[in-house]
Amino acid sequence: MPYIKVFIHYVWTTKGRQPFLRTKDIREAVWMHIKENAKHKGIYIDTIGGFSEHCHCLISLGTGQTIEKIAQLIKGESSFWINKQSFIKSKFAWQDEYFAVSVSEKGVDNVRKYILGQEEHHKLVSFADEYNDFIEKYGFKDFKD
């Protein structure tokens, strides 16, 4: 049996960055559903959180799992579920793009705290600023057109 511990920090947004996840109750229901559904699919979500227009997940990849497939499974099913719940009047969707960066064993606790602190963090920092910080911090600007 292989022993694997590879943590990935995912971040993705709602379509058009619309604040569809506008209340804490909606967010908590969505995060709980995503975590429960992922568990049924053999996906280990260590920590999940976010704010009105985005989601953060710290995931430990398992054998045979890819970054892309995990994102597809979580985002696709959760969009379907959110629409069934009628949390919003319009059709809910996640944006196609997402961030995914590896997290060292030493960095896991900091990422957990960061994800769990999203409610407070976004009282001070907009998601647009956070997005730009990610682009800069992880060198993604080098990959943009």
Q: For residue range 90-126, list pLDDT tens digits in order.
A: 899 999 999 999 999 999 999 999 999 999 999 899 9
Token code pair at residue 101:
């960066």
pLDDT of residue 145: 45
Pairing of strands 6-14, 94-103: antiparallel
As a whole number of angstroms, the distance between CA 131 and CA 12 comes to 10
Q: Which domain holds residue 84?
A: 6-143
Task: Please check whether residue 118 lies inside any domain of the structure.
Answer: yes
As a whole number of angstroms, the distance between CA 82 and CA 87 comes to 7
Q: How confident is the model at residue 143 (pLDDT cuts 50, 70, 90)?
A: low
What is the domain count for the chain?
Answer: 1
Task: Please check whether residue 123 lies inside any domain of the structure.
Answer: yes
pTM of the predicted protein model: 0.91
Task: Please check whether residue 106 lies inside any domain of the structure.
Answer: yes
In sequence order, the 6+-apart residues with CB closer than 8 A to the CB of 93 are 14, 15, 79
Give the rounded distance of the alpha carbon of 67 from its chain centre.
12
Ramachandran quadrant class, 93 (left: phi over 0; alpha: psi -120 to 50; beta: rest): beta
Task: Please check whether residue 1 lies inside any domain of the structure.
Answer: no
Q: What is the CATH number of the domain that holds 63?
A: 3.30.70.1290
pLDDT of residue 140: 84
Task: Please check whether residue 64 lies inside any domain of the structure.
Answer: yes
Give the rounded distance of the alpha carbon of 137 from its chain centre.
18
Q: How confident is the model at residue 66 (pLDDT cuts 50, 70, 90)?
A: very high
